[in-house]
Amino acid sequence: MAVKRREKDLTFLEKLYIPEIVKGLTITFKEMLKPRYTMQYPEEKFVPPASYRGRPVLVQERNGVERCVACGLCARICPALAIEVQANETELEKERYPEKFEINMLRCIFCGFCEEVCPEEAIVMSKDYELVFTNREDGIYGKDKLLTPVDHLEDRLEFLRKFR
């Protein structure tokens, strides 16, 4: 059976392709005049809003003590098994503190479950999204890297209280 070819007659202007070129250029110029959303990272840094979930950190009170009471709930809820807490007793009013608190940032999926479950508002998601390691050991953050002054976390804590 012979194949029937469908032929469409092009108009004179279509044959010149000029209307299509003009249409394309109009779109290009319109887009050029719209506001730009691209940031020149790392020279320009993105400052996330309070709702942002960056790496989890431990809240450090103004007197230098961590707020955490080493209950271990965050470690139990963590779906990535990224948290390790070792509790010990303290003379302070809270009675227990985390002698060791580590988060494996290579495992963490930034889900925020640890923050949600913590009864003390002691672990929160920060605005830090710049995580760089050159080996696996550096991805394990201990208290030295996790403790963050409460004054730096106020907006996140405020944001969380809206939903509690």
Of the two residues 9 and 72, which places its CB atom closer to ligand SF4 in the complex? 72
Of the two residues 5 and 112, which places its CB atom closer to ligand SF4 in the complex? 112
User: Do 67 and 61 meet the contact criterion of CB atoms below 8 Å apart?
Assistant: yes
Site string for ligand SF4, 56-95 (x = CB under 6 A): x-----------xxxxxxx--xx-x-xx-x----------
User: Do 71 and 88 meet the contact criterion of CB atoms below 8 Å apart?
Assistant: no
Q: Show the tokens assigned to 22.
A: 């003009």
Least distance CB 143 / ligand SF4 (angstroms): 11
User: Do 126 and 153 meet the contact criterion of CB atoms below 8 Å apart?
Assistant: yes
Q: Show the tokens assigned to 5.
A: 């070819």
User: Do 97 and 70 meet the contact criterion of CB atoms below 8 Å apart?
Assistant: yes
Among 57, 60, 103, 148, binds ligand SF4 (CB under 6 A): 103
For the segment 115-154, give every residue that binds ligand SF4 (CB under 6 A): 117-118, 120, 122-123
How many other C-beta atoms are found inside a 10 Å radius of the C-beta of residue 90? 15
* Residues binding ligand SF4 (CB under 6 A): 56, 68-74, 77-78, 80, 82-83, 85, 103, 108-114, 117-118, 120, 122-123
